[in-house]
Amino acid sequence: MKKRLYVLSAVALPLVLTACPGPAVPTVTPITEMNGRIQGQDALTSGGTASVQLVSSIYDLVFGVPPMKTAPVAADGSFTLTLPTAAEVAPRLQQVPSQEVDSACSGRAVVTPATANFFEFGSLFLFHDGQPQAELTSQDSKTTQNSDGSTTKATTLHSWLYVDVPTHMSVDLTCPQNQGSTTAVTVTTQIELTLQSGWNALTVADTNVTFPDGHQTMTEKVSKAANAPTVWTAEGINAMALAQSGGAATSGVSKGMQSHSTFFHRE
């Protein structure tokens, strides 16, 4: 689950996508930048120059691929990141895969048009004097112990989604999943989005309930959000370890890169 769920690891949610005429989307102000503030970043950036970088993959750090965008970090941890233009994001776009809903699942998944292409990010990398220091996410988590012995972990995280055409997504799927041979997991994904062409700010609300017998229910709700300033925190990941390992240390390092909506990140 994302530490996320930020930590549901990417759970495969097979979908059926129905092609229909594109929806009418009201004219809105395009999103071209996002503002954030890194909380508790002093120890990571003290005595040097700090910046945040948007990369399309954790492996960009390994192979020296230039970041999609970079922004300086001020002394108080604040930054303004200009989002990639249509031309800059085009090579990274992915088409939402068209698959039939698994017979074990119930519900619906409709994306209009089915040929829409997307790119999503929910993490950045903090650099100090040109060296990667930590992966950053914008999220809040709360864990509650319930009277029936179950434990609820609620996580709200922020992400930004680019689509190349106005798109409507209507998803309400419940699927059984197995983590290992004994743990039963039920995953529910709920999305009702009308997206403008270009960048859209999203909120992903994850609720993970673990019962005394080990059974888990995971519910993910994705909704539009205002493109308001966000607070970012370090995941406690030393990205330099990944770069020095040549990609071998991927376990636990790319968790944030996979912590966006499972609807957009599935295998």
Mean of the pLDDT values across residues 208-234? 93
Give percent of the chain above pLDDT 70.
Answer: 70
**Rounded (5°) CA angle 57-100-93:** 25
DSSP code string of 155-191: EEEEEEEEESS-EEEEEEEEEEEEETTTEEEEEEEEE
pLDDT digits (tens, 9 = 90+) for 15-42: 333 344 555 545 568 999 999 999 876 6
- Per-residue pLDDT, 201: 96
User: What's the number of domains the chain is made of?
Assistant: 1
Does residue 171 lie within any of the structural domains? yes
Contact (Cβ atoms closer than 8 angstroms) between residue 135 and residue 256: yes
In eight-state DSSP terms, residue 26 is -
pLDDT digits (tens, 9 = 90+) for 96-133: 755 456 678 888 888 899 899 999 999 999 998 888 88
Does residue 143 register a pLDDT over 50? Answer: yes
State the residue range of the domain holding 235.
33-258
Q: What is the spatial distance between Cα 263 and Cα 53, in angstroms, rounded to a whole number? A: 24
**pLDDT-based confidence at 253, cuts 50/70/90?**
very low
Does residue 2 lie within any of the structural domains? no
- Per-residue pLDDT, 130: 84
Does residue 28 lie within any of the structural domains? no
Does residue 266 lie within any of the structural domains? no
- Per-residue pLDDT, 259: 42
pLDDT digits (tens, 9 = 90+) for 147-191: 999 999 999 999 999 999 999 999 898 988 765 556 688 999 999
Does residue 9 lie within any of the structural domains? no
**Residue with structure tokens 């997504």?**
169
Does residue 6 lie within any of the structural domains? no
- Per-residue pLDDT, 26: 53
Does residue 264 lie within any of the structural domains? no
> In the predicted model, what is the mean pLDDT of the chain?
78
